[in-house]
Amino acid sequence: MQRRTLMKAALTAVSLIALQATSALAENPVLKIGFVGVTSGPAASWGISNQRSMETRAAWINETGGYEIGDTTYDIEIVSFDDQKDPKRAIAGMEKMAQEGIHYVVGPNVDDGAAAVRPVAESNGIMYFPYAFPKSLYEAPASNAVLGMVANYQSGPAIYKYLMEEKGVKTVAFIAANESDPLSQRDGGVAAATALGLEVVSDNVTYQVDTTDFTPVLTPVMRSRPDLLVLSGVSPANAPQLIRSARELGFQGVISTETAQDSGVLTEGAGDLANGFISVGGASTPELASPMMNEFVDRYTKMFGEYNDESNTKVYALEYILETLKADPTALTDVDAFQATMDTFEAPNPYMNGDATLRYVGMSSFGQKRQVAVPLVVNVYQDGKFETLFVAEVD
Amino acid sequence: MEQILANGVYLGSQYAMIALGLTLIFALMNVLNFAHGQMYVIGGFVTYTFYGQWGVPFILALVMSCVTLAILGALIERFLFAPVIKGSAREESTMLLAAGIAFFLDAVILLFFGEKQRGVPKIVDGVFNYDFRLIMPYDRILICVLAILSIVAFIGLMQYTKTGRALRALAQDRTAAQLMGVNVDRYSMIGFALGAMLAGLVGGLLVTITGVNLGMGGPTSIKAFMMVMIGGAGVISGAIWGGIILGFMEAIGLALLYQYGDITYLLIFVSLMIFLAIRPQGLMGKPWG
């Protein structure tokens, strides 16, 4: 009897809390923004930093009264789907977004997932912001994908050129995981390095995605004695192990990658052996970060216990979507209007000091504006943190 | 050649340890424990927390991994597998339960340890370098030695202790063991706890080399299943041979076939299919189970 009473009381309490939460949410109409990406497995870090960045920003907006688009103030709700880095799951995720009437989706995180969802997105009027590099996603006739970061064929040449001029690098070796993203990034890197006049001494060594010990994998690469070792498309989980194994095998040259990494992960996984490691940073540095960026970092840390440096880039996609919708409220349900607005859109960049702006770029790489403008920050890891090597812009 | 042999011994010893726990649980309970990889990951995270975060001595952290996983394994057996085995004669019931536990543990790991790759300070600095013909960091050598010692200790436990004899009896014939006075329920729980503890031990050992992350569980289970299939399901010596063979195949393939791209595992899988077609019970397994 007592147990039944207790259960009734608990049920009532839960119902009341649920009602309260519903009524709190019901104060503003809800604008749903989707996320389809990888939040499990070895590459989980990429997607989770996306999802958490969006959730942090959405909670922040909702806490401060909502986001005004046209005459209406919206609460933002993030609808997430873990595609497990599987293209079939990514399609299912995008279909789910279509069923929920969502027109703006962040993700997927990898090439094959982004390519797979294209028909679903284009036929259902969904604009999506992948973190994948194939140019075919962004060049006409493709219309609905917007690259959410700087691509490797944009950052790679800048890094190689810097290393040739500043460090006297003459030979380069590439190593990549045996899956589509890293392999295509490796091929792009080899082409860029060759075009710059670097001698490619090794480019055919690959490793299984689930490799945990890289010493046997790296041994033949080290025999080629390169000046520069490029970890093409390396995931944050694998980067410290690769660096550690390369250094333990006696490699003295420079190690670099064109993907974003996390300093904490490098510190734990490779320690001082990671000193000098060059990577494309999140689109923020202490010098660039505005007070709003710093508050975002604080809020993210409070919400999830630990910040992820990759979110310095991942913070932008949601902001671009909302600001573009604010610029043209008809785009809420009409992605053609969104696309038309992209050509002329410009708004202050709240995450950067100075007079930086949010705007769409990509004319040089894709022939149309299908890329968010975020600074190309190239970092070098030194004693537990990233230091900015140089900052550049992409058009 | 020296490097290939050294890599083979190193990889083989760690793989054998991973496979041991899985095959023990299969031998005792006829359960394919799909959550074995997740248990390995938890073992790694426990050592990471104690040694990497709290500065507890490595050996103590390793003991904590073993204890945590042994308790977890005992609880899982007592409250999940034992009731299902008693209530259902269908083997797929335990398989589904194991898969469910794997997903659950993945969620728990994400909740408590996050999505990032984690690593711990090196337990031994320095690299053994013999004229660039054989390069092996000292910590890998130490972990390899510890793994081999652990395997020897495990074999000793199974061969020369009362618990080991009871477990072997249970694995050979459950009914006969019960008729001979073996407390089947108790030793099933002990066996499962021991299997989980082995996963925790190898997770704790390898976190010093490979680090640990949320996504390692599934691939680890798959590799463990491969080793068990090579050696013969439910046979302790088979798991050890399976691990050693896989380790050497990987070391040889990576050293000699790299210029053809990533075909090492392709060849391993093809070899495995041919081998299983000829000898489905594995190297040491018996055709009748």
Q: Is residue B85 part of a domain?
A: yes
CA pair distance B253, B275, nearest whole angstrom: 17
Could you tell me the CATH number of the domain that includes residue B181?
A: 1.10.3470
pLDDT, average across residues A41-65: 90
Domain ranges, ordered by start, for chain A: 23-149+286-374, 152-282
Residue of chain B nearest A44, judged by CA positions: B115
- Inter-chain CB proximity B258 and A204 less than 8 Å: yes
Using DSSP, state whether B134 is helix, strand or coil.
strand
- A306 with B251: Cβ contact below 8 A: no
From the list B11, B121, B260, the residue facing A271 with the nearest CB is B121
Confirm whether B284 is domain-assigned: no
The reported pLDDT for the residue numbered A392 is 82
With H, G, I as helix, E, B as strand and everything else as coil, classify residue A84.
Answer: coil
Residue A264: which pLDDT band, with cuts at 50, 70 and 90? Answer: confident
| Average pLDDT along chain A | 88
Rounded distance, CA B229 to CA B225, Å? 6
Residues of chain B with Cβ-Cβ distance to A215 below 8 Å are 7, 135-137, 140
Is B210 within 8 Å of A42 when comparing Cβ atoms? no
What are the CA-CA distances from residue B274 to residues A8, A120, B196, B239, B282 (Å)? 61, 41, 31, 19, 11
Which amino acid is located at B125 in the chain? D
Q: What is the DSSP letter of A258?
A: S
CATH architecture of A23-149+286-374: 3-Layer(aba) Sandwich (3.40)
Q: Does B256 touch chain A (CB under 8 A)?
A: no
Q: What is the pLDDT of residues A313-365, one digit of tens each?
A: 899 999 999 999 999 999 999 999 999 999 999 999 999 888 889 999 999 88
Q: How far is CA B65 from CA A69, B11, B266, in A?
A: 53, 21, 34
- Give one DSSP letter per residue of A309-354, joined into a string: TTHHHHTHHHHHHHHHHHH-GGGGT-HHHHHHHHTT-EEE-TTBST
**Domain range enclosing B229:** 2-278
In a domain, B95, yes or no: yes
- Which among B218, B258, B265 has the least Cβ separation from residue A220? B258
Judged against a pLDDT cut of 90, whether residue A103 lies above it is answered with yes
pLDDT at A10 over 80: no
Hey, are the CB atoms on A306 and B114 less than 8 Å from each other?
yes
Residue A61 has pLDDT above 80, yes or no: yes
- The Cα A222–Cα B269 span in angstroms is 27
Is residue B289 assigned to a domain? no
User: Residue B261 and residue A204: Cβ atoms within 8 Å?
Assistant: yes
What letter does residue A28 receive in the DSSP assignment?
S
Q: For B182, list phi and psi in degrees, rounded to 5.
A: -75, 130
Provide the CA B192 distance to its chain's centre, in angstroms. 13
Nearest CA to B253 among B240, B266, B272, B241?
A: B266
* Helix or strand (DSSP H, E) at A365: helix A363-366
Task: Tell me the nearest-neighbour CA distance from A363 into chain B, angstroms.
Answer: 35
Contact B251 A216 (CB under 8 A): yes
**pLDDT score recorded for residue A4:** 57
Cβ-contact A206, A231 below 8 angstroms: no
Q: A275: pLDDT confidence band, cut at 50, 70 and 90?
A: very high
| A282 token code pair | 């999140």
pLDDT at A280: 86
B6, closest residue in chain A (CA to CA):
A216
Query: Residue A278: is its pLDDT beyond 50?
Result: yes
Nearest Cα residue in chain B from A249: B135
Chains A & B: contacts with CB separation below 8 Å:
117
Q: How many domains does chain B have?
A: 1
pLDDT digits (tens, 9 = 90+) for A244-254: 989 988 899 99
A22 pLDDT more than 50: no
DSSP for residue A32: E
Give A-chain residues touching B218 at CB under 8 angstroms: 41
pLDDT at B202: 92
Considering only alpha carbons, which residue of chain A is nearest residue B115?
Answer: A45
What single string gives the DSSP state of each residue in B106-123? Answer: HHHHHHHH-SS-B----S
pLDDT (0 to 100) of residue B116: 81
pLDDT band at A297 (very low <50, low <70, confident <90, very high): very high
CA distance A241 to chain B (A): 6
Could you tell me the pLDDT band of residue A24, with boundaries at 50, 70 and 90? very low
Give the closest-approach CA distance of B111 to chain A in angstroms: 10
Asked if B259 has any chain A CB less than 8 Å from its own CB, the reply is yes
- Reported as a single tens digit per residue, the pLDDT across A125-151 is 999 999 998 899 999 999 999 999 988
- The pLDDT score that the predictor gives to residue A346 is 95
pLDDT of residue B55: 92
Residues of A in contact with B121 (CB under 8 A): 271
- Residue B54 vs residues B48, B51, B199: alpha-carbon distances, Å: 9, 6, 22
Q: Are B232 and B238 in contact (CB under 8 A)?
A: yes
Lowest mean pLDDT among A10-14, A29-33, B228-232: A10-14
Distance from CA of B64 to the nearest CA of A (A): 20
Residue A1: what pLDDT? 42
**Cβ–Cβ under 8 Å, residues B220 and A183:** no
pLDDT at site B51 = 94
The whole-angstrom separation of Cα A43 and Cα B117 is 9
CB nearest to B7's CB, from A207, A215, A271 = A215
Q: Flag whether pLDDT at A55 surpasses 80.
A: yes
Min Cα separation A359/chain B (Å):
31
- The neighbouring-strand residues paired with A69 are A72
CB B244 within 8 A of CB B16: yes
Q: Tell me the average pLDDT across A361-377.
A: 91
> Which of A28-32, A154-158, A301-305, A332-336 has the least mean pLDDT?
A154-158
In this predicted structure, what is the pLDDT of residue A23? Answer: 47
Q: Model confidence at A286, in pLDDT bands (50, 70, 90)? A: confident
Residue A8 reports pLDDT greater than 70: no
Q: Do A42 and B140 touch (CB under 8 A)?
A: no
How far A289 CA lies from chain B's nearest CA (Å)?
24
Sign of the alpha-carbon torsion through A185, A189, A195, A199? negative
Give CA–CA dist A97/A59, Å, rounded.
20
* Multiple choice CATH, A152-282, 3.40.50.620, 3.40.50.2300, 3.60.20.10, 3.30.360.10: 3.40.50.2300
Is a pLDDT exceeding 50 seen at residue A375? Answer: yes
Q: How confident is the model at residue A7 (pLDDT cuts 50, 70, 90)?
A: low
Distance from CA of B181 to the nearest CA of A (A): 41
Domains A23-149+286-374 and A152-282 in one fold: yes
User: Which residues of chain B, if any, have pLDDT below 70?
Assistant: 261, 287-289
Strands A104-106 and A199-207, sheet pairing = unpaired
Kindly state whether residue B131 falls inside one of the protein's structural domains. Answer: yes
